[in-house]
Structure 1
């Protein structure tokens, strides 16, 4: 890849800046985004009217970059004498230093120009390449350009402030620079974003790049220091672990006003938002490493739990949201993401995480404080989640803009039969029934031990037992030897062989008589690519190794399946699956992408999926869950338990300072 064609993305919560390696916007979706709105659509630096020649760039932190370039006229055999450095920090807004240095004995006259513009496009418009026209105002002052936009009660503004005087136009700043021999020229630029709450102060000031440290909620080093320390000779695990911690740090943000601590966003750049399912699974994955993520995630989601029926947003009382956005389309009611509740599993995962969080932390205060939210979630599970009352949780969108599929595989064609036919709603996917089973048992424990409600506990346990018995009959396809992906609107078994059945092992709903066949299918080469478990068997008609949910490999999916294998006693196979996933991480520079292609393993690297999110929260968390699986970590009766090293795994491996119920422990296998 040509250096200037490399992509650069800097993050600070819901603020992110995507450019090429030079630091310039050059693609239709590039720009500075703040709270789901593009505040800069053009940002391009030129010298003497030409693009710079990129030498290199570095990203010391997820929010900072240092870019080195030189004059565009550099050619083979000609030594450059002028260097250009751009030091950029994203911290609510942007601070950028532009530094020119002359290494010759002659002064140079240069024209430095920054072209800039703002279109205030909604992030959904940019993603869909359907950007509407807006009447953007531009105010030019001595050292400031301010772009503004208002639509009714929705207001946004971008203020750009320059320290060096120049010729300021509505969409450009031009400096005529006389660069002394052996001299330096510098300008500092601040970009400040505003919304309906007013101007959001830029959390950096002018000065040298090394001294510009934003007032982050928690610095990267603090975050790394609080995590357990991994010692291993297995390089993929060691490097992927550190990279995963760094990515999770980068994806922390404050999703709503009043949310004191940060929660994990789903992924960069397009999913820097609160996603119920993604945030809950990520927090679950991170529990033995950073348990606070679970508490803050539970608190944030409880704040936006549905309290009334709203068909446009697929909302029912007690439901945990799917996605929360803050852009113009949402603010003006044109999209339902305020928040949108089209997820049929997030509410169940909320209950699962609350129980698992208490087991690891002993935080009974949170269990009591979140009791009303948990009870509301149970009421939803027992009522609106099962509209026809048949005992299975099924979904069908009521919103004209709702998701057709409201399981984790939420693309329109992800629930299909083995012959490729797409299932008709309402749809009851298998893994959602497993989550419902697990959520009932876990909530029963909370009700009995902490809420002093044995009646509710007994009821939930009875419901779980009945669900398990019926499920193992109604979802089992005897002639194919595996569980159905789902029941469709006609209660027909959707017979494709998919990774969803692996989640059944994680939830514990599978009877012993079906467990071995389930494990065998997941490990069969038709499902197991050698890098991870495919979302669909290569033997089924709908299989496509590069289709989003019908043949690709998702790291979080495979990690959950590995943990399910461990739960059912298949530790060696679970470890093997986890190791393969870590080897895939090594092939991707130790960062697992959101998804990769499902081609059979040949060579040293999986085939990439065309457009994955990266970094992605539950992919980073997958590394942590794999480590939990390898160590065999569980908390039972307040005590941390771990298992012997799995057969076939090269050891030893040690994890120091594991946080367990207010203590720090070390485990070794």
Structure 2
């Protein structure tokens, strides 16, 4: 049986000596069904194009709430037959799924057609709001004759834990409780081994003619041209919300208002390329669909279907990629992770004092510790990324009030970096799991086979990854800037800078390989270099850790045909021992990885190479449903007139993939901020080949804002200030 390891620990393969990892069989390709997804808060739903949820082993379809599937089956039939699909669309803002359907030929059972196809139109409009799924079924008769039509909705709820849905097997489950059927509603219930009672309540208006524990049947009389509607609510652990049609209207209004309010804070992007405009609109819509309100502020959940919860690394990178667009998201990420920072040592959770969260789960299996992810800290990079992002937030906003609030957490994170993060005291940050059921590899490439030597032999830990040292360098530099901004002693800030410089010189000596022409992937537990060409080296440029004289070689290596597929930089060069373009981490293309690499290129002055990466990913998006970049796709070489090859279980939408184009746009434009001077900067802007001009509106800084247009003029890019409000100034350098 084939296993695939998903980045956040849900799909974990196992080598023969690693059977304690969480095993998840992969038997279903998400690409087969190209599902439609909705999300609000801690609830998400996955449907097929007809609006149905048809469950089978490994299927992610259904309605999920807090890591449990509350509805596993939903199927609509008309006169006992499935309707035919006309179209299936998500609104541009992801607020509503609309499925337009029609009737097939309907016979009388004796071979005589009594209703020809395409005479009835059925529209299913569906959205999520506050732990409930709402749907309106509108049926209209376009025939010249009246018809009595029977619609049937079949449904069921398995209350499976998300890990079960993905394939985990449990020795024992809880108890399915007797269903309650009354009038216009059905309540399905389950009592888990954790003692919790979970309920799914389906309500209908009008009341069905027949209602059972697994179906609702409506008999509708339709005159020529007449339309009838049925409204349904599927509520997860939710009390009765009053009259259903009124609740539907109120929920629809409130959901759209909330989306407009949140996304209205962001800068707006428009360009000369309408396809790119569609892609950007989808990126922004996916971002705000994934954003969830927490007590500390907005927090982007990682992705649907497997990662719709709090992840540290994902949100930190998403915050970095969207900081120019909407700093409020970054603020929410930092504050929420600060509140959940480890304050003690817990080997079962891979927790150490000062460490930043990897993942949170709320399902039955996590509560019972059948999986170790209830509150899990097994990532090596979340902690330095936390400090690094705090520094970027300060530079972007000048918000010293929030930084003072964060400072104790920043100091705790720095203490972890020095103490537990550096296990052998050599100045590098290493990882090794404390819990034998936790993640073997704890960088962003956390497949069991993602860190290896040139001959393909797996590296043994503790392992020091190249990119983690870069994040740590960025963390020390950020800590120095924050310390000065909030008035800490100069000796403390200077000490942070000294640590950064010591890391820089030590890193170059240990990680740069002249023969490879790039940085090695990692050092193993014996400090032997993993001499492998990988995308990790591009992250070294992101924070400035790379010595200037190394940058050109790294760029050249990452843009040659072994590394660059034409769609993007592969996670692993095709020359390496474990290269497989269909693997999760050993040859695939990840949008967020490419966005970070492009930002590193731009930092060292290689903006045209950054624009080349941008063009590849944009070209890939033109072949993808909804212009939505998935979590990853396969690393096969780009061929003329053919799109990219998709990865079977890639999440879509995925926050850091959705926001990758936004970050690449920032990198190519050289867009930066000086909060102290209230300057918005464009340093040596470059436009990729598919853009002639870009307009950005509502770039906010320190109470002011600006609208700007960047347009190509021969070999240069000209910046025009369209409007300026408040004290903000636009500064452009060649």
How would you bin the TM-score normalised by the shorter chain?
over 0.9
Give distance in 1, aligned partners of 2:337 and 2:150.
Answer: 51
Residues 298 and 328 of structure 2 are in contact (CA less than 8 Å); yes or no, is this contact kept in structure 1? no
Match of 2:535 among 499, 516, 519: 499
Match of 1:173 among 216, 237, 240: 216
**Structure 1 residues 53 and 480: CA distance shift in structure 2, 3 A:** closer
CA deviation after TM superposition for structure 1 residue 458, in Å: 2.2
Residues 506 and 564 of structure 1 are in contact (CA less than 8 Å); yes or no, is this contact kept in structure 2? yes
**Structure 1 residues 491 and 188: CA distance shift in structure 2, 3 A:** same
Give distance in 2, aligned partners of 1:202 and 1:580.
Answer: 48
**Structure 1 residues 275 and 134: CA distance shift in structure 2, 3 A:** same
CA deviation after TM superposition for structure 1 residue 243, in Å: 1.9
Equivalent in the alignment of 1:607: 645
Residues 368 and 451 of structure 1 are in contact (CA less than 8 Å); yes or no, is this contact kept in structure 2? no
**Structure 1 residues 181 and 570: CA distance shift in structure 2, 3 A:** closer
Equivalent in the alignment of 1:521: 557
Equivalent in the alignment of 1:158: 200
Equivalent in the alignment of 1:546: 582
**Structure 1 residues 53 and 578: CA distance shift in structure 2, 3 A:** closer
Unmatched segments (≥5 aa) in structure 1 = none
**Structure 1 residues 66 and 646: CA distance shift in structure 2, 3 A:** closer
- CA shift digits 1:480-519 (9 cap, x unpaired): 2321100111111011100000000001111133222212
Bigger drift between 284-293 and 96-105 goes to: 96-105
Give distance in 1, aligned partners of 2:190 and 2:534.
Answer: 47
Equivalent in the alignment of 2:139: 100
- CA shift digits 1:264-310 (9 cap, x unpaired): 11111221111101101111110111111000111111111111111
TM-score calculated relative to the size of structure 2:
0.85
- CA shift digits 1:346-401 (9 cap, x unpaired): 11111111111111111111001111111111111111111222211111111132
Give distance in 1, aligned partners of 2:420 and 2:256.
Answer: 38
Residues 572 and 588 of structure 2 are in contact (CA less than 8 Å); yes or no, is this contact kept in structure 1? yes
Could you say what secondary structure the match of 1:187 adopts? strand
Bigger drift between 458-467 and 347-356 goes to: 458-467
Equivalent in the alignment of 1:216: 255
**Equivalent residues in 2 for 1:561-580, closer than 5 Å:** 561-580=597-616
**Equivalent residues in 2 for 1:135-284, closer than 5 Å:** 135-137=175-177, 138-151=179-192, 152-165=194-207, 166-194=209-237, 199=238, 206=245, 213-216=252-255, 219-254=258-293, 258-259=295-296, 261-284=297-320
TM-score calculated relative to the size of structure 1:
0.93
Say if 2:338 is the partner of 1:320.
Answer: no
**Equivalent residues in 2 for 1:280-359, closer than 5 Å:** 280-359=316-395
- CA shift digits 1:530-582 (9 cap, x unpaired): 22111111111211111111111111111111111111122222222223222
Say if 2:151 is the partner of 1:112.
Answer: yes
Match of 1:660 among 692, 701, 717: 701
Equivalenced residues, count: 661
Could you say what secondary structure the match of 1:559 adopts? helix
Could you say what secondary structure the match of 1:273 adopts? coil
**Equivalent residues in 2 for 1:43-54, closer than 5 Å:** 43-54=74-85
Give distance in 2, aligned partners of 1:437 and 1:4.
Answer: 43
Say if 2:98 is the partner of 1:66.
Answer: yes
Give distance in 2, aligned partners of 1:288 and 1:217.
Answer: 24
CA deviation after TM superposition for structure 1 residue 6, in Å: 5.2
Say if 2:369 is the partner of 1:369.
Answer: no
Give distance in 1, aligned partners of 2:496 and 2:167.
Answer: 43
**Structure 1 residues 520 and 613: CA distance shift in structure 2, 3 A:** same
CA deviation after TM superposition for structure 1 residue 413, in Å: 0.8
Unmatched segments (≥5 aa) in structure 2 = 1-28, 108-112, 711-717, 719-734
Match of 1:598 among 617, 635, 638: 635
Residues 105 and 117 of structure 2 are in contact (CA less than 8 Å); yes or no, is this contact kept in structure 1? no
Equivalent in the alignment of 1:83: 121
Equivalent in the alignment of 1:508: 544
CA deviation after TM superposition for structure 1 residue 223, in Å: 4.4
Give distance in 2, aligned partners of 1:50 and 1:337.
Answer: 43
Could you say what secondary structure the match of 2:154 adopts? strand
**Structure 1 residues 376 and 153: CA distance shift in structure 2, 3 A:** farther
Could you say what secondary structure the match of 1:658 adopts? strand
**Equivalent residues in 2 for 1:472-491, closer than 5 Å:** 472-491=508-527
Give distance in 1, aligned partners of 2:425 and 2:37.
Answer: 47
**Structure 1 residues 236 and 629: CA distance shift in structure 2, 3 A:** farther
Give distance in 1, aligned partners of 2:516 and 2:577.
Answer: 15
**Structure 1 residues 519 and 375: CA distance shift in structure 2, 3 A:** same
**Equivalent residues in 2 for 1:429-508, closer than 5 Å:** 429-508=465-544
Could you say what secondary structure the match of 1:419 adopts? coil
Give distance in 2, aligned partners of 1:64 and 1:635.
Answer: 36
Bigger drift between 37-46 and 163-172 goes to: 163-172
**Structure 1 residues 417 and 217: CA distance shift in structure 2, 3 A:** farther
CA deviation after TM superposition for structure 1 residue 451, in Å: 4.2
Give distance in 2, aligned partners of 1:383 and 1:113.
Answer: 62
CA deviation after TM superposition for structure 1 residue 455, in Å: 3.1
CA deviation after TM superposition for structure 1 residue 231, in Å: 4.0
**Structure 1 residues 203 and 553: CA distance shift in structure 2, 3 A:** farther
Root mean square deviation, CA, Å: 2.6
Residues 324 and 340 of structure 1 are in contact (CA less than 8 Å); yes or no, is this contact kept in structure 2? yes
- CA shift digits 1:615-661 (9 cap, x unpaired): 11111111111111121012245432212343875534332321223
- CA shift digits 1:104-143 (9 cap, x unpaired): 3544333322211111111111012537644211122222
Could you say what secondary structure the match of 1:215 adopts? helix
Residues 53 and 74 of structure 1 are in contact (CA less than 8 Å); yes or no, is this contact kept in structure 2? no
Residues 42 and 115 of structure 1 are in contact (CA less than 8 Å); yes or no, is this contact kept in structure 2? yes
Give distance in 1, aligned partners of 2:144 and 2:517.
Answer: 80
Residues 360 and 661 of structure 1 are in contact (CA less than 8 Å); yes or no, is this contact kept in structure 2? no
Give distance in 2, aligned partners of 1:319 and 1:203.
Answer: 45
- CA shift digits 1:32-61 (9 cap, x unpaired): 101111001111122232222222223224
**Structure 1 residues 202 and 347: CA distance shift in structure 2, 3 A:** farther
Say if 2:63 is the partner of 1:32.
Answer: yes
